[in-house]
A and B are shown apart, each in its own frame.
Chain A
Amino acid sequence: MIVDDQPEGPAGRVGTSSARHARRGGGLPGFVARRLLQALAAGIGASVVVWALLPLAPGDPAERVLRSRGVAEPTQEEIQATRAALGLDRPLIEQYGSWLGRAVRGDFSESYQTRKPVFGEIADRLPATLLLAVTATLLAIAVAVPAALIAAAFHGRWPDGLLRGFSLLGAGVPAFLLGLLVLYLVVLRLGLGQVLADGKLSQVWLPAAVLAFARAAEWSRLLRAGLLDALSSGYAAVATARGAGRARVLVVHALPNASIPFLTAVGVGFGALVGGAPIIETVFSWPGVGNYVVTAINSRDMPVIQTFTALAAIVYVTSSVVVDVAVAALHPPSRQRT
């Protein structure tokens, strides 16, 4: 992940030519190609780990399949037949190749429990998860940016102390506990909202707020640190000397530079949320991907777990690449570091 510790503000870029940027950081197409190759390597590594979930999980995979299908006492004949039907009697490398080939074509097999294609089942739940992820991300940004600006503007004073307290709370309170507290206080005591969610916009606010809480705490802390660095830099001093007010220096000069690590964190955090928020989705009975996966884990529905892990890895790697490329486009020196 790229974290720029030497930001250069608009004031600092005055007079810097794009040719010099290119010399310092290399061309963008080359950077993108290198980053894609790295992503491919990460993807292949992830695919091995994901596939290995099935053979490495405790117990005989064939017996596990039969039991998850309700066969309480599978016979040796049934186990052998299932092993052959699922190709579990073939060499591991062959099994991996076959699995990868199908996965690349989008065929992630069928759920042991529902006997429906896993990819389709996840796709059915993706809109609810996307809605939750987008809302939570927007809420977190809406809280984090003003909070960080206020904390930086009042550095060392009580608003700054308040933000640090908020950050600690966000980092320290487990999501499930916060979720249950919100359900108890907001829904039961205040009578606002409901517990049983249906995945619609009108009910997204409570789970999104809980999800946003930890992220807002983390992101505001990150942005605050970046803003303080930027405020102590030379270009901020130049801008101040040129007569810019404190608010202008903070918002126009410091914020764009401080936002690069912040945006990186937001991008990766959003990717993780799209991969599902299992705990919050479960506590709020949100019909998304995370909730589905928790059920699959409880019932050891391995194809679902594999597919979810594979998709989460893909989303994570993709969002990392997108963020890195965006940062590299905005800040050419960062191209050198990967």
Chain B
Amino acid sequence: MRKSPAIRRSRFTDPTTPSRHRNQAAAAAIALTGLVAAACGSGAVSSQGAPTSSAGSVTPTSQAPITKPLRILNSFKATAVDPALPGAHWCYTFGYCEHPTVAPEDRSDPKPWLIESLSRTDAQTWKLVVRPGITFQNGKALDGQALAASLQRQIDKNAQVKNFIGGSKATVSGAMEVTLTTPKPNASLPWLLADQGLMPVYDAAAVEAHLAAGGKDLELAGKGIFTAPFTLEGLDTNGAQLKRNETYWAGKPALPAIEIRFITDPQARLIALENGEADMALYPPANLTDVLKTNKKLVLLRQQQAQETLRLAPNVGQGLLTDVNIRKAISRAIDYEEIAGKYMSGLYDPAVGLFPLTVDYALKNQPTDLKEARRILDAAGWAPGAGGTREKNGQKLQLVLLTYPQQPDTADVAIGVQQQLAQVGIAIDIRQVEDINATIAKPDSWNLALIFNSTRSLVGDPIIPSRRYFHSQSGDNKGKYGVADPRVDEIIEKLEGTFDAAERGTLLRRLQDIVITEQAYMIIAGLKPFPIVVTKEWERYQVSSVRRLITFETRP
């Protein structure tokens, strides 16, 4: 695996790693440095090793105190505070909750954050050692008991966590230590511990007491249940208000407060931004990219690494695309540069394979080659027909491509795909459907679907998405896309129990060989970096590649 400095500092350890105690000591020193710095009110944390995060921040050139709150406009609403409930995951994005581990900005392996170390004693048993000196915003200390309660509550009550590691047990094994036992080997665990709102660390006892006393979920705002740099003070359907956690363990947060408004209309968000009523607007529509580029008051920023993947998913189980030759011809006939540059106005990155090339296991195996596409179709007996569409045994090579209105980009990309495939004699019938998941579940009604997902999780895990899209028994694949390949199943099952990065890399490369090069089970249409529009004051802001938009270092 390609190592970044962040990874080299990572303190995930195997039972065979002798440096565990040395790392713990170093981490304790780091935490102490941070605490001293915070106690002295310096507002700065040593760059020599105290926890820092470049996520959602810029390198500060000035340490002048900031008095204005950051005002953010978002299209989606945070609908819950209790992390066990859906709709609470925005706490990760907006910096009012933290996780045991954190994903580095290069989306490499996660590193410890609220814990000092994460180690395995066997394939199913993990030890988490809590970083000392951390308190919840309500003043209660974070220790082994609090961490175990938080993890166990999420495992039991959060539907997504239950789906990933249901049946796991988090038990206190020391004053500052938790043992987490999973029902089967799970190499994704370090990523799950860092992922967006899945297992944030919170005062589970306080939440349970609040709910037992008849308190409402939204009333948890202001109770200080998290450890994060910002405290959620209020949350309703119009927005959220956060204020600086003055006793934050890693250093004094640079921003005094954050105000988030939920504004559905994308144009209204941008006009409000231009009118100086906000500093940041999320989710700008792709069709406004060109307009934004000429706007002198606003700046369009994007992630350094694209996080979302727009898949051109073939229906492998039924219809014409059961023929691997047609799938491979489609893969070769699409001009990925043109999709990203022309149809998505440069807002997308061109796709080159299943994974972005920023990870060392990624293969560049999805080339554009019109000649090869035509050759494959010719060899498979698909001859050019009268109207330009190829035919075989009287059947036209005409495919139904699904798009959906909730992601308007799919309509624009579909037009590009239609025009590009017409060049090799494949006719595309674009159909926009209201519920893409429901339509995909009827595999006799479609051939291709443009659908957003990520081939790696938000924080970089390739294993769970691989199971979802390619394993024959996965609920997202079985009876839908119809991929059923014993070789693929075997690789995925091996991956889930493979903790060694090099070995995992080998398996992932083999997986890409099969699903992209040999079988074209999936075609990646484009990579979408998360865009944000900011005012000039915030033009040096760096958009987090793992969607942690706010950290204690975030400042204009």
Contact = CB atoms under 8 A, between A and B. Distances in A.
Interface string B56-81: 00000000000000000100010110
A195 B275 contact: yes
A165 to B, nearest CB: 27
Contacts, number: 104
Contacts of A70: 86-87, 89, 159-160
A284 B159 contact: no
A235 B278 CA distance: 61
Interface of B is mostly: loop
Interface stretch (B113-121, B129-137, B266-274, B516-524): B266-274
Given A60-B438, A194-B275, A115 B264 contact: no
A114 B265 CA distance: 20
A179 to B, nearest CB: 9
Contacts of A72: 160, 163
Given A71-B160, A72-B160, A287 B438 contact: no
Contacts of B272: 194-196, 285
B85 A187 contact: no
B468 A73 contact: yes
B530 to A, nearest CB: 18
A67 B272 CA distance: 31
A188 B89 CA distance: 34
A70 B435 CA distance: 15
A283 B87 contact: no
B406 interface: yes
B268 A282 contact: yes
B439 interface: yes
Contacts of B73: 196
Contacts of A78: 159
B86 A180 contact: no
A114 B475 contact: no
B1 interface: no
Contacts of A187: 271, 275
A59 B264 contact: no
A300 B433 CA distance: 14
Contacts of A295: 77, 262, 264
A283 B268 contact: yes
A188 B438 contact: no
A307 B355 CA distance: 44
A1 to B, nearest CB: 33
A294 B266 CA distance: 13
A59 B437 contact: yes
Contacts of B434: 57-58
A78 B77 CA distance: 25
Contacts of B271: 180, 183-184, 187-188, 195
B264 A282 contact: yes
Contacts of B208: none
Contacts of B337: none
A250 B268 CA distance: 44
Interface residues of B, number: 39
A124 B237 CA distance: 10
**What class of interface size applies to chain A in its complex with B?**
35 or more
B435 A58 contact: yes
B217 interface: yes
B528 interface: no
Given A64-B435, A70-B160, A75-B475, A188 B275 contact: yes
A324 interface: no
Interface in A190-208: 194-196
A159 interface: no
Contacts of B80: 114-115
Contacts of B476: 73
A292 interface: yes
B413 interface: no
B85 A115 contact: yes
A190 to B, nearest CB: 11
B277 interface: yes
Interface string B420-457: 00000000000001110111010000000000000000
A71 B86 contact: yes
B87 A183 contact: no
Given A60-B438, A78-B159, A283-B267, A196 B278 contact: yes
Contacts of A269: none
B243 to A, nearest CB: 20
Nearest to A59: B438
Contacts of B435: 57-59, 64, 300
B495 interface: no
Interface string B161-182: 0010000000000000000000
Contacts of B127: none
B153 interface: no
Given A74-B475, A187-B275, A121 B237 contact: yes
A69 to B, nearest CB: 4
Contacts of B474: 73
Given A194-B277, A284-B268, A73 B163 contact: yes
B374 to A, nearest CB: 37
A67 B163 CA distance: 13
Contacts of B555: none
Nearest to B270: A195
Contact of B263 (A59, A66, A196): A196
A63 interface: yes
Contacts of A294: 264
B261 A63 contact: no
Given A58-B433, A59-B438, A71-B86, A196 B77 contact: no
A187 to B, nearest CB: 6
A125 to B, nearest CB: 8
A333 B551 CA distance: 72
Interface in A114-138: 114-115, 121, 124
Interface of A: 57-60, 63-64, 66-67, 69-76, 78, 113-115, 121, 124, 180, 183-184, 187-188, 194-196, 282-285, 287, 291-292, 294-295, 298, 300
Closest 7 CB pairs between A and B? A70-B86, A59-B438, A195-B272, A59-B435, A58-B435, A69-B86, A71-B159
Given A115-B217, A295-B77, 15 more contacts: A64-B438, A70-B86, A71-B163, A73-B476, A76-B475, A78-B159, A114-B79, A114-B87, A187-B271, A188-B274, A195-B268, A195-B272, A283-B268, A285-B268, A291-B264
5 contacts: A70-B159, A71-B86, A195-B271, A284-B268, A285-B264
